[in-house]
Amino acid sequence: MTYLQRDMPEESRAYCAGILRGIREFQRRSASALKDETPDYCDSAFASIREEWEEAVDDPGQVRLLASYLEEEDLL
């Protein structure tokens, strides 16, 4: 949220997208036992982080840009 506090919504969107990408890559590629112990954690964390960012940015244009990116990269 530091980027948003500094009025840098594009950078904030890129940072959030990176976190979300990391969650999906962990979910899809990791052999960690953690995935087996908490199978819904990645989906829950992904949704929670996305929702928190969308509320904080409070900019429909930025929200649409993130949604487009997530869809294009098959991260949804």
> What's the mean pLDDT in 27-52?
92
1 pLDDT more than 80: no
Could you give the CA distance from residue 40 to residue 9 in angstroms, rounded to a whole number? Answer: 29
Residue 25 pLDDT level (bands cut at 50, 70, 90): very high
CA-nearest of 64, 22, 68 to 45 is 22
Q: Which residues contact 35 (CB under 8 A, 6 or more apart)?
A: 26, 27, 41, 42
pLDDT for res 58: 95
- The rounded Cα 47 to chain-centroid distance in angstroms is 7
The pTM of this model reads 0.92
pLDDT for res 36: 84
